[in-house]
Amino acid sequence: MGELRIGVVGYGMMGRAHCYGYRVAPMIRTLPVTPVVTVMSGRDAAAVAKAAAACGVPQTLTDWRELVARDDVDVVDICTPPGTHAEIAEAAAATGKAVLCEKPLAVSYAQAASAARAVAGVRNAVGFNYRRLPAVALMRRMIDDGAVGDVRLWRATWLSDEFTDPTTPYDWRFDRAMGGTTIADLGCHLIDMALWMAGEIADVCAQSQTFITKRPLFDGGVTEVGEADVTVDDASSALIRFASGARGTVEMARSAVRRPCDFTVEVNGSEGTLLFDYARLNELWYGSAHSDPSRYGLTRIRAEHLSHPYAADWWPIGQGVGYGSSFANQVADLLENWPDGPWTPDFAQGVAVQAVCEAMERSAASGRWVATREVAG
């Protein structure tokens, strides 16, 4: 069995999470190739060397262009800040390499669409990893199987406290051009799940707010040298009209004290309700309109039964998986039929998500409902 050589661009938390995925995937799924991360790149030579050592990656580079150009790389895996994704993806695709890109695909719809056009000739995917959690995948499967009937209401919230401390220094996350907004950062996952579970989004109406508008600026991370303007939203929310006639709401906030990274997704359909709470990620709540009324309530499904998505790959029921499993599942899904595909979700899906996010941005800026097709043309 041959090796599939991965070059990881970026050495932060996401780079590490992806390396975990490559390492674990062959243990949970029989794959036609063994993924091996051959090289990792990052601008800070010492930092990338340290990360690469931890991840068992033998080679490092400080210029992603070199990584993209190398012969010993089959797949370019992009784990850098969002503002850099499109350019790297385009360069990688130009060499014919497969591209896996972290979310959000870009910091604008135009950038995302350009990247999607560029990668059309190679295998391409976007890292919407939460789809790969067993309970989330089960939720989608149950919707497809009719467990809730016609989707009528869809709601999701993502609450984090990442931006609650006003002493947190300015960095790329607060810069719209580099990191993208809260709508993009947190919202893109929720919108991906919305599109995946409930179909096309026709229109949105959003509001955004920045509660802490300036952040201390540090020179080399040590000496405070002033303040910088925050150009992203701390929190946003939106109303959603799905093309199907379903209605939705979504909220994403980095202003919620003692809410580390709590997201929930609920669907109410004509025949049932499904509810996922990421804080208890191995569970899925379900109620059917047709269940025995004397048992009225929701069932807390332990989403680890052998019949459930991903479950047979991992541990016996009752032994939960964690966040990391989504990355191993992602690798396993993408490589299971290598070099065949399909790879999903692909850049086209990333573009569709970006269209909705950008419609939310425009709506928040203009104070009116915005159709997704205004963005996507």
Give the per-residue contact string, 65-104, with a copy of itself (x = CB under 8 A; - = no): ----------------------------------------
Least distance (Å) between residue 265 CB and a copy of itself = 13
Query: How buried is 33 (Cβ within 10 angstroms: 0-12 exposed, 13-18 middle, 19+ buried)?
Result: middle
Rg of the chain over Cα atoms, rounded to whole angstroms, equals 21
Phi, psi of 248 (to 5 degrees): -150, 170
Residue 365 near a copy of itself by CB under 8 A? no
Give the per-residue contact string, 184-223, with a copy of itself (x = CB under 8 A; - = no): ---------------------xxx-x-x------------
Least distance (Å) between residue 165 CB and a copy of itself = 8
What Å distances lie between residue 22 and 78, 123, 314, 331, CA to CA?
A: 14, 17, 15, 6
Nearer to a copy of itself, 124 or 330 (CB): 330
Cβ atoms 240, 250 nearer than 8 A: yes
Least distance (Å) between residue 297 CB and a copy of itself = 4
- Give the number of other CB atoms < 10 A from CB of residue 108: 22
Rounded Cα–Cα distance for residues 60 and 52 (Å): 7
The letter for the amino acid at 200 is: E
Cβ atoms 375, 362 nearer than 8 A: yes
How many residues at the interface with a copy of itself, by CB under 8 A?
Answer: 96
Nearer to a copy of itself, 60 or 111 (CB): 60
Nearer to a copy of itself, 95 or 164 (CB): 164
- How far is Cα of residue 238 from the mean position of the Cα atoms in its chain? 19
Rounded Cα–Cα distance for residues 218 and 354 (Å): 32
Question: What 3-state class would DSSP assign to 89?
Answer: helix
Residue 359 near a copy of itself by CB under 8 A? no
Residues 117-176 that bind a copy of itself (CB under 8 A): 148, 152-153, 155, 157, 159-161, 164-165
Least distance (Å) between residue 337 CB and a copy of itself = 18
Rounded Cα–Cα distance for residues 188 and 250 (Å): 11
Least distance (Å) between residue 237 CB and a copy of itself = 5
Among 222, 297, 340, 377, binds a copy of itself (CB under 8 A): 297
Residue 167 DSSP code: T
Residue 287 near a copy of itself by CB under 8 A? yes
Residues 224-283 that bind a copy of itself (CB under 8 A): 234-235, 237-239, 241, 245, 247-249, 251, 253, 255-262, 268-273, 278-283
Residue 24 near a copy of itself by CB under 8 A? yes
Least distance (Å) between residue 352 CB and a copy of itself = 21
Least distance (Å) between residue 102 CB and a copy of itself = 15
Among 220, 221, 322, 377, binds a copy of itself (CB under 8 A): 322
Rounded Cα–Cα distance for residues 339 and 75 (Å): 11
Cis peptide before 35 (omega within 30 of 0): no
Question: What 3-state class would DSSP assign to 237?
Answer: strand
Least distance (Å) between residue 348 CB and a copy of itself = 28
Residues 35-54 that bind a copy of itself (CB under 8 A): 53-54
Q: Residues for the chain: how many in total?
A: 377
Among 170, 172, 218, 323, binds a copy of itself (CB under 8 A): 323
Cβ atoms 8, 39 nearer than 8 A: yes
Cis peptide before 339 (omega within 30 of 0): yes
Nearer to a copy of itself, 132 or 308 (CB): 308
Residue 314 near a copy of itself by CB under 8 A? yes
Phi, psi of 346 (to 5 degrees): -95, -175
Least distance (Å) between residue 148 CB and a copy of itself = 7
